[in-house]
Amino acid sequence: MKTLLTSALALLVLTSASAAGDGHDHGKIIPGPKGGRIVEVEGGHAEFLVQPDRKVAVIFYGEDMKAVNPSEQVVTLVAEAPSGKEKLEFEKTADQFVSKAVLPDGDGYRIVLQIRASAGAKPQNFRIDYHTETCGGCSRAEYACICAEESGGGHGGHAH
């Protein structure tokens, strides 16, 4: 029993030290430099951004939030629109990934963004509630709203 307790305590200390030692707050909402939603990915961050033509761009950043050119990442997206699920494939450009097709019409649906560090890597899935209305608090599209942390959740207390 003493060994189990000692092992559990050691694991807790190591986990706390590794989480605290990476130089940034995992709970803080980071505003996307281009106005999109930032998600944490292996080796840094990625920005999910819906462009005016409704194509989706994914831009990668290092831990320091400086843009990095895409390399071996694989990006896919499933839009769970009222009209049905639709999978979007992405193509790599010099500085980002861009969807080959546009998002389905409307908003108010869930998007599942999947990012892999390389073709054989374990996927990271990010669920994004897609709303295009502009937030009155931060003036960003609702899907990229950064107000939630200031009021303890939701969308900063404002309605869609």
**Domain residue spans of the chain:** 25-151
Residue type, 28: K
Rounded Cα gap, residues 42 and 23, in angstroms: 15
What confidence score (pLDDT) does residue 148 get? Answer: 63
Contact in structure between 30 and 37 (CB atoms under 8 Å): no
CA max distance for the chain: 62
Q: Tell me: domain 25-151, CATH 1.10.3470, correct?
A: no
Residue 117 is classified by DSSP as S
Q: Is the pLDDT of residue 6 over 80?
A: no
State if pTM tops 0.85: no
